[in-house]
Amino acid sequence: MAEQKMVKLTIEGRPVTVAEGTTILEAAKTVGILIPHYCYHPGLPIAGVCRMCLVEVDKAPKLAPSCATTVVEGQVVHVYSEKSLDARKGVLEMLLINHPLDCPICDQSGECELQDYTYQEGRLDSRYREPKRFNPAEDFGGDVMYVPNRCILCTRCVRFMDDVAHEPTLNVSERGDRALIGKFEGRDMTHPWAANVIDLCPVGALLSKDFLNKARAWELDRTASICPNCTQGCNVIMETRENQIVRMRPRPNEYVNAFFMCDWGRLNYRWMNEKDRVEQPMVRGKNGLTPASWEMAISAAARALEGKRVFVAASPMLSNESLFLLTQLMQDGGGAFRVQEGEEAPLAGVEDLSLRRERAANVYGAETLGFKKTTDLLGGLRQGDVLVVAGDDLAGVDTSALSRASDVIVISSVLPTGSDRASVVLPIANFSEEEGTVTNLRGRVQRFTQARQAPGETRPSWLVLGDLLGAMGKQTSFFLPSDVFSRLASSHKSFAGLSYETIGFRGLPVVDAPATRPKTPIAVGAA
């Protein structure tokens, strides 16, 4: 790669050095100055239409749109000069003249950029005395609803569909102050990535029908996580209210998902809220499975496993940490997993970003750790093995195979079919309730954290498995999932050198990740 020429300039009195071709807006970000803007989005082509990001540049005759102006050596930029502030105040007043000011009933309230910048830089009053423009709300299909009265015509949504989804479903219709976002009758926002326009909309004009009226933005708790619904591993924020996930939204990561996530992954969060859970450890007694203390259940399981060959039927939703600990249980046995499949749905304008065929978070991790991907989950179960069912619900599995097992231990969040054969049931947290790492299809190890509290006496899977191994006399002292990961990193060559600190919240590839993974940030807008 040719050496990039660097440009030095001054923004608000701070010296800035950035690569040639950088815009003033992006340069300002590097010194902690966020120039207010609406139409600009780093994942979209530049439009330069909202005129919100105007800044004063010494010696320039006019204010410059910082999103569309590249830096020049020696430039002196004033973001908060009187002229710049006055221009932005003007834009804010204009944006509000036809805006309904219905924040109390608007879903965007609290996370609205029009609200934020108006409080930050806007006028206290409006001089507008005329009637406001009105257009009725419209269902755009898919998960998208359009409220034109709140629209500021920034065209982010149109550009996303045109230049990123490569399926121009939205347009700007009409012109002048009659303009609004339009679509064609009968051609809905059913593109598998269409709902990203909701996140991109800086105001309350494009709303999620799924999230509509569910919560105010300030009632939400937000947790950095990974979408568990396919092997892409899109970085997400899980948003909860009263311990219920009510929304998942993409978290930018230029190595995985840019700024986006697919609609299927986004809306597939209800299973993590499900009430039908095992909440107590259970041990089989005279009257079948009966609740027991964790100590009793762990020692019962340890006794059942002691000296036996073990076969693990695992779930590819489990973390690397738990899968690794499961391998420690196997002794001479083996492990397998199965994965639900669906249709692949790429996002055309972003390199290597797709709703993947395999719909689970940690297929790559499971395979790396020696679990065999199969459609016949219990095919590897040999006569006399102890079967550990870890996370799989055994739905649709021929349970007659269970008769080969000498014993069945269930380590799961929900009770699997055929659990009448289980001697011990250890309830574990689901994906949203614990912390760990998963490895995406390009071998990128990514951390997820706990978004919800687990119900009842449920414990994190890594903790349960650590205790179980301890009860079996194996040396364990895992106080945190990072302790498990350290052990994994020191004992498995793929994970060598990785730690929670180095992985951070943007992930790192395993040592032997496939060559197809993007080594550089993924390109948005690629053909």
Partner 1 sequence: MGFPQLPHPRETTVLSKYFGDAEARTLAGWKKRGGYKALEKALDMQPAEIVNIVKESGLRGRGGAGFPTGLKWSFMKPGDGKPHYLCCNADESEPGTFKDRELMRWTPHALVEGCAIAAYAIGAETAYVYIRGEFTEPLYWMEQAVKEAYAAGIIGENAMGSAKRIDVHVHKGAGAYICGEETALMESLEGRRGNPRIKPPFPAVSGVFGMPTTINNVETLIAAAPILLNGADWYKKMSLSSPKSTGTKLYSVCGNVQRPGTYEVVMGFPFKEFLYDLCGGPLHGRKFKAVIPGGVSVPIQNMEEAEATLMDYEGFVEKGSMLGSGGVIVIDDAQPMVTVIARIARFFAHESCAQCTQCREGTAWTTKILERIRDGEGTMEDLDTLLDIAEQMTGKTICVLSDSCAVPVVSGIKKFRSEFEALIQGRRFHPVAAAVA
Partner 2 sequence: MTPSPELVGGLESPDYASHDKAAHGPYASVFTGDVKRELDELLTRYPTKMAALLPALWIVQRERGWVSEEAMVEVADLLELTPAYVKGVVTFYTMYHQHPVAKYFIQVCTTSPCGICGAEDVVKAFVRHTNTGELGLTSPDGKYTVIEVECLGACGFATPVMINEKFIESVTPDKVPELLAELA
Applying CB under 8 A, the residues found at the interface with partner 1 are 46-52, 54, 61-63, 65, 68, 87, 90-91, 93-95, 97-98, 127-130, 152-153, 172, 174-179
Our CB check for partner 2 shows the closer of 187 and 519 to be: 187
Our CB check for partner 2 shows the closer of 164 and 318 to be: 164
- Smallest distance, Å, CB 263 to partner 2? 18
The sign of the dihedral angle between the CA atoms of 391, 397, 398, 401 is negative
Residue 91's binding partner out of partner 2, partner 1, none, with CB under 5 to 8 Å set by partner kind: partner 1
Q: Taking CB under 8 A as the rule, does residue 135 contact partner 2?
A: no
Our CB check for partner 1 shows the closer of 99 and 442 to be: 99
Q: Which position has the token pair 């139409």?
A: 39
Our CB check for partner 1 shows the closer of 81 and 449 to be: 81
Strand order in the sheet with 144-146: 138-141, 144-146, 206-208
Q: Taking CB under 8 A as the rule, does residue 171 contact partner 2?
A: yes
404 SS3 class? helix
- Determine the interface stretch with partner 2 among 38-46, 71-79, 162-170, 252-260 (rule: CB under 8 A): 162-170
Residue 343's binding partner out of partner 1, partner 2, none, with CB under 5 to 8 Å set by partner kind: none
CA dist., res. 9 & res. 359, Å (int): 48
- Element spanning 19, H or E: strand 14-19
The binder of partner 2 chosen from 73, 139, 174, 344 (CB under 8 A): 174
Q: Quick check: 325 and 467 in contact, CB under 8 A?
A: no
- Smallest distance, Å, CB 175 to partner 1? 5
Q: Quick check: 113 and 202 in contact, CB under 8 A?
A: yes
- Smallest distance, Å, CB 185 to partner 1? 19
Our CB check for partner 1 shows the closer of 63 and 326 to be: 63
Closest of 183, 187, 112, 190 to residue 152, by C-alpha: 112
Q: Which position has the token pair 């040999």?
A: 382
Our CB check for partner 2 shows the closer of 13 and 186 to be: 186
Our CB check for partner 2 shows the closer of 168 and 334 to be: 168
Q: Quick check: 350 and 328 in contact, CB under 8 A?
A: no
- Smallest distance, Å, CB 178 to partner 1? 8
Query: H helices of 193-336, where?
Result: 196-200, 263-267, 270-273, 294-305, 320-330
CA dist., res. 16 & res. 23, Å (int): 12
Residue 168's binding partner out of partner 1, partner 2, none, with CB under 5 to 8 Å set by partner kind: partner 2
* Region 175-204 residues binding partner 2, contact defined as CB under 8 A: 175, 182-185, 187
CA dist., res. 166 & res. 171, Å (int): 13
The residues binding partner 2 (CB under 8 A) are 162, 167-175, 182-185, 187
